[in-house]
Amino acid sequence: MTKQDARAEATAREEEAKIFSAPAPTDAAVSAARRDSERLAPAKEWSFPLPRRNDRGVVVTGDGGAAAKRGDVPYGGWARDIVADVARRDAVRDATRDAYAHYEKYAFGDDELRPRAKLGKNAFGGLGATIVDSLDTLWIMGLSDEYGRAREWVSRRLSFDVDRDASVFETTIRVLGGVLAAYDLSGDEMYINKATNLATRLKPAFATASGIPYPIVNLKTGRAKHPGWAHGSSPLAEFGTLSLEFVSLSDRVGDPRWSDLAETPIAKVQSVRGDVGTVPRGLYPMSIDPGKLKWSSGAVSFGAMGDSFFEYLLKTYVMGGRTRELRGWSDMWDESMRAMLEHLVFPGEEEGTKYVAEWNGRAHHKMDHLACFVGGMLVLGAHGSDMEKEYVAAAAEITKMCYRMYTSQPTMLAPEVVSFAKYEKENGGTPRGRRMVNQVNHNLQRPETIESIFYMYRKTGDPMYREWAWNMFCAMRKHYKTDSGWAGIKDVRRDPPTNDDTMQSFFIAETMKYMYLIFADGDVIDLDEWVFNTEAHPLKVKPRRETLVPPYKYS
């Protein structure tokens, strides 16, 4: 055991003692919190679907892998017979309930909670982002009362007829993805009506010569534009992270126009994939001029501005049942992964660790925490590939490096960005991997490392990954939790740290959901039946036979 591992476990044991010795919230405390939130109909009067539990008291989310066993959808090579760690699972659920209760108390209806100010803030058009982002988490965890109040707010209060500019990307992944996932879990038609209304208001953004959408659209007027900082270019991750949601909507309402909107940009990008200058073939620059279909950047990143484009190449294929007709998506993804492994993945200082660099004319040895999703993505795409062993091995090494981003800090929480120092020589003259160095020291409650740990655990069943997750959860509970909400921290090097003033909507949508699922039974969100969008909203796998993205051969 390394010194870092020993310190992480000691910190976890200290916090664990507090978790399991603390009394459960009393009914009176919960009732008091509810009185401070918007008071809607009591649970006994709700007429819409609520989470259904099996004989083990666990919320049912599909048929537990039966679809793959019948051959209706492909088997993804996941570990079988994963049994819940009930105590730790319930500790994560209780923490989520605590965080959400503070949002209800101080910011219900606003996009996010400011815990220190005990106020709400609206960074995503005032569309109740935390409520919509939390719907499926509340459902999966069986928090029926909280889910019921959230559902009622969406039904009665959520309106897209607002004169506000909205990010097409953020609104799609958080709000459109959130209501579609809630529909897939519950079958509640109200969500489909909301999804169709929202998609209709996002549609004007796609009215460009190439079909690559403007990044911003006014939900009321339909006026679309580029932000000033983009200088007329469209970021890769923004226009390339729409297909899961729009394809799902097309399937649910039987209208192919929605999937066509999201697939057209990918087909256009595929057509110019060879015109990337000095960028290695298979990798895609971070922005493109949508009018000229010319790349406007020579930089490549699996972090900010690039990340989820690559994620959605794979997940659109997986969500479509990995059918032969959708091989164009997997061809693009597989070519990208081979190029990434060849040009951007390097060994870290510790044996068994690797990191994902960026590209700007040559490899730039910097890694955003955002890029820590790569381990999980490689695992998801590995099964059935002729690169399966290489993908799983790289996934394990990248995930370990991302875990080290946590255990190397005094707070046991990762910085936002790290870089890697030049190679050093051991005594024998043999080069060793690069040493990790902090670059940006705040922590925003991000989910990407726990996401990859989740996929590694579901793939291998190795209990080590549950231990890593628990160590991370204990550090989060110790440092995020305040008397008025859970907040990120300003500097991971300082223990005790100072909290910032935001509880990110993705903290409940992603970080806590993945954390809960690691400790849950393996048939809770079976990965042969569900695909997570980039905001961790689960969408049903349904085989598809048509796409605008053609297959191709690459070398």
- How far, in Å, CA of 295 to CA of 120, rounded? 39
Beta-carbon-side half-sphere exposure of residue 426 (alpha carbons within 13 Å): 8
- How far, in Å, CA of 492 to CA of 298, rounded? 32
Q: Are 233 and 292 in contact (CB under 8 A)?
A: no
Helices 144-157/129-140 angle, 10° precision: 140
- Tell me the three-class secondary structure of 145-178, residue by residue: HHHHHHHHHHHHHCCCCCCCEEEHHHHHHHHHHH
User: Which pLDDT score is estimated for 55?
Assistant: 87
Mean pLDDT by 10 residues, the chain (555 residues): 88 92 59 45 72 91 84 90 96 98 98 98 95 98 97 98 97 98 98 98 96 97 93 95 98 98 97 86 94 92 97 98 96 97 97 97 97 98 96 98 98 98 60 88 98 98 98 98 98 98 98 98 96 98 96 69
- How far, in Å, CA of 176 to CA of 265, rounded? 19
* CA 527, chain centre distance (Å): 15
Tell me: is residue 11 an annotated ligand-binding position.
no
- How far, in Å, CA of 328 to CA of 536, rounded? 24
Please tell me the total count of domains within the chain. 1
- How far, in Å, CA of 449 to CA of 405, rounded? 9
User: Which pLDDT score is estimated for 63?
Assistant: 85
Q: Is residue 38 part of a domain?
A: no
Q: Is residue 11 part of a domain?
A: no
- How far, in Å, CA of 487 to CA of 508, rounded? 12
Sign of the dihedral through C-alpha 252, 179, 71, 451 = positive
Q: Which domain holds residue 285?
A: 62-540
Q: Is residue 320 part of a domain?
A: yes
Neighbours of 27 (CB within 10 A): 8
* CA 486, chain centre distance (Å): 19
pTM of the predicted structure, to 2 decimals: 0.94
* CA 159, chain centre distance (Å): 25
For residue 514, the domain's CATH number is 1.50.10.10
Strands of 417-420's sheet, edge to edge?
Answer: 366-368, 417-420, 436-440
Active site residue ranges: 170, 307, 416, 448
Tokens of 423: 């190679």
CA dist 404 to 330, 354, 412, 461, Å?
30, 11, 9, 20
